[in-house]
Amino acid sequence: MKIDILTVVPDLLTSPFSHSILKRAHDKGLLTVRVHNLRKWAINKHMQVDDYPFGGGAGMVLMPEPLANAIDELQQEGKYDEIIYMTPDGERFNQKAANQLSLKENLLIICGHYKGIDERIRQRYVTREISIGDYVLSGGELAAAVVVDAIGRLIPGVLSDETSALFDSFQDNLLAPPVYTRPADFRGDKVPDILTQGDPKKVEDWRHEQSLTRTKERRPDLLEE
């Protein structure tokens, strides 16, 4: 999968994709993330990419020309399956959206900054608008990192144990069960017997039951979906 990200603050995105699972995805040739500085397509020598909002009001708006020129140029390499704009008024990101997007080949993610991007770019180019939650970040960069991380680990072949993503929280609308590792007795707190008795069927049933209990207690809304 190839993911291009357009941003005015590329430095915010230098590290998140160079570690752990996403680094492995990159090293295995399964995921390429390219971060593009929107200022490369600035409209003048002052590197301008934003301007005051028509009608007044606080904050700056990313101008349509730099964004359109950037997208047009990037699209010359091939069309995107989705052009995603990160914005608090987008659809709420969840595991289902991550699953869907992990099956795509080419994504472009546009990060807003300041007051956002000119509406005409949303109408003309953007195919999907995503929010990572009901709060406002200073820009879309950290949100984009969240989305790329959630998608990247789902790309087939990225996780060494292919099945492990299947048991993540939210797959099947259930939270994950509790997990334990050694020692079996930590300061008197013991691991549930079932996990040390070596009966895989009983372990599976126990985990499912724990998932259900946890979901009922913490996120009953998931069970209603």
Which residues, at least 6 apart from 72, have a Cβ–Cβ distance to it below 8 Å?
none
Shortest reach from residue 115's CB to ligand ADE, in Å? 10
Helices (H), the chain: 20-27, 64-75, 95-101, 119-124, 141-152, 200-218, 220-224
Shortest reach from residue 6's CB to ligand ADE, in Å? 13
16 binds ligand ADE (CB under 6 A): no
Shortest reach from residue 214's CB to ligand ADE, in Å? 26
The Cα–Cα gap between 74 and 67 comes to: 11
User: How do strand 128-131 and strand 61-62 relate by DSSP bridges?
Assistant: unpaired
Nearest residue (CB) to ligand ADE, 139 versus 152: 139
Nearest residue (CB) to ligand ADE, 88 versus 152: 88
135 binds ligand ADE (CB under 6 A): yes
Tell me the DSSP string of 70-108.
HHHHHHTT---SEEEEEEEEEEEP-HHHHHHHTT-SEEE
136 binds ligand ADE (CB under 6 A): yes
Interacting positions 110-129 with ligand ADE (CB under 6 A): 112
Among 88, 150, 158, 211, binds ligand ADE (CB under 6 A): 88
Kindly report the backbone phi and psi dihedral angles of residue 109, in degrees, each rounded to the nearest multiple of 5, phi listed first: -115, 125
148 binds ligand ADE (CB under 6 A): no
Provide the residue type at 17 as one letter: F
Kindly state the tokens that stand for 83: 């052009």
62 binds ligand ADE (CB under 6 A): no
The Cα–Cα gap between 144 and 116 comes to: 14
Stretch that binds ligand ADE, among 26-34, 82-90, 183-191, 202-210 (CB under 6 A): 82-90
Which residues, at least 6 apart from 60, have a Cβ–Cβ distance to it below 8 Å?
50, 51, 52, 53, 114, 115
Site size toward ligand ADE (CB under 6 A) is 12
98 binds ligand ADE (CB under 6 A): no
Stretch that binds ligand ADE, among 28-36, 100-108, 131-139, 197-205 (CB under 6 A): 131-139
Shortest reach from residue 85's CB to ligand ADE, in Å? 8
The binding site for ligand ADE (CB under 6 A) comprises 86-88, 112, 131-133, 135-137, 140, 143
